[in-house]
Amino acid sequence: MNHLGTNFYEAVSVILFGIGFMNLLLQNNLIKKFIGLNIMDTAVYLFLAAQGYIFGRVAPILTDGVVDATYYVNPIPAGLVLTGIVVSVSITAFSLALVQRLYKHYGSLNMDEIMKLSREEEGE
């Protein structure tokens, strides 16, 4: 682990977030949009993990009788990341189920085509 004060992991997380955001905006395929959303989620988790780690400290598991808090990293960011992953997986599963229903109904995963077909249905 590099402790020279560089923000390598933070920079990578910002780049990943940008890639996911552009994918979310520019793709018409719904599956690709959700892949972009998951890339954005991963970027946020990387950023939280990078912010929560302090070089030279260890996980907060009491060993060797060390009870000084300055010896351990804060466990809150790791808990937030785990909670976020659970929520992200749930949202992805629900979203893919909705995409499957849209595909069965409209026969396409293209967002523009689905919007066009739904407007035609409303006009009937």
Residues 28, 36: Cα–Cα separation, whole Å: 12
How much is the pTM? Answer: 0.82
Q: Quick check: 116 pLDDT over 90?
A: yes
6: CB partners within 8 A, 6+ apart: none
Q: According to DSSP H, which parts of 53-75 are helical?
A: none
What pLDDT score does 12 carry? Answer: 93
Backbone φ and ψ of 110, nearest 5°? -80, 125
What pLDDT score does 61 carry? Answer: 80
What pLDDT score does 5 carry? Answer: 57
Residue type, 88: S
Please report which confidence band the pLDDT of residue 124 belongs to, taking 50, 70 and 90 as the band edges: low
Of 87, 83, 13, give the one whose Cα is nearest residue 50. Answer: 13
Architecture category of domain 1-121 in CATH: Orthogonal Bundle (1.10)
Q: Quick check: 20 pLDDT over 60?
A: yes
End-to-end CA distance of the chain: 62
Q: Quick check: 51 pLDDT over 90?
A: no
pLDDT digits (tens, 9 = 90+) for 21-36: 999 999 999 999 999 9
Count CB-CB contacts under 10 A for residue 120: 9
Residues 111, 91: Cα–Cα separation, whole Å: 19
Q: Quick check: 15 pLDDT over 90?
A: yes
